[in-house]
Amino acid sequence: DTAVSQTPKYLVTQMGNDKSIKCEQNLGHDTMYWYKQDSKKFLKIMFSYNNKELIINETVPNRFSPKSPDKAHLNLHINSLELGDSAVYFCASSKGNQPQHFGDGTRLSIL
C-alpha cells in the first residue's frame, strides 16, 4: 500500500493554465506538506498544514494555494502557470516532528 500518493505523476501544460495536483496519505499523520524541487535539485518547503494552521513559505507566489478537504488530503492548486513553475513537486506527511514520508513526486513541465 502506498503511504503518500500523488497524482498525476507527470503534468505537461501551457503557460497561463490553471492546474491541480492531488495528494493523499494513509498513515494517519496530522501534518502534510508541499515541497518544490527545482532543476538544481534543491528541495524547498512551500506549505505545511495541519488541522490547526497553515504555514506558508513567504517566497511562494500567491498563485499557489493548498486545499485540504480532510486530514488525509492536501491538494495543490496553481493559477496562471509560468515557465519558472517547472519543477518536481513533492507531497509529504508526518506526525508531529517525526520523520516526513514523501510521495513519488509530480513532474510539472510548462510549455
Q: Please give the residue ranges that form the binding site for other proteins (CB under 8 A).
A: 31, 33, 35, 40-45, 47-50, 52-53, 55, 57, 90, 92, 96-105
Residue 90 CB, shortest distance to other proteins, in Å, is 6
Residue 105 CB, shortest distance to other proteins, in Å, is 5
* Closer by beta carbon to other proteins, 42 or else 84: 42
Would you list the DSSP string of the chain? --SEEEE-SEEEE-TT--EEEEEEE-S--SEEEEEEE-TT--EEEEEEEESS-EEE-TTS-TTEEEEEEETTEEEEEE-S--GGG-EEEEEEEESTTSPPEE---EEEEE-
* Closer by beta carbon to other proteins, 13 or else 37: 37
Residue 40 CB, shortest distance to other proteins, in Å, is 7
Residue 7 CB, shortest distance to other proteins, in Å, is 14
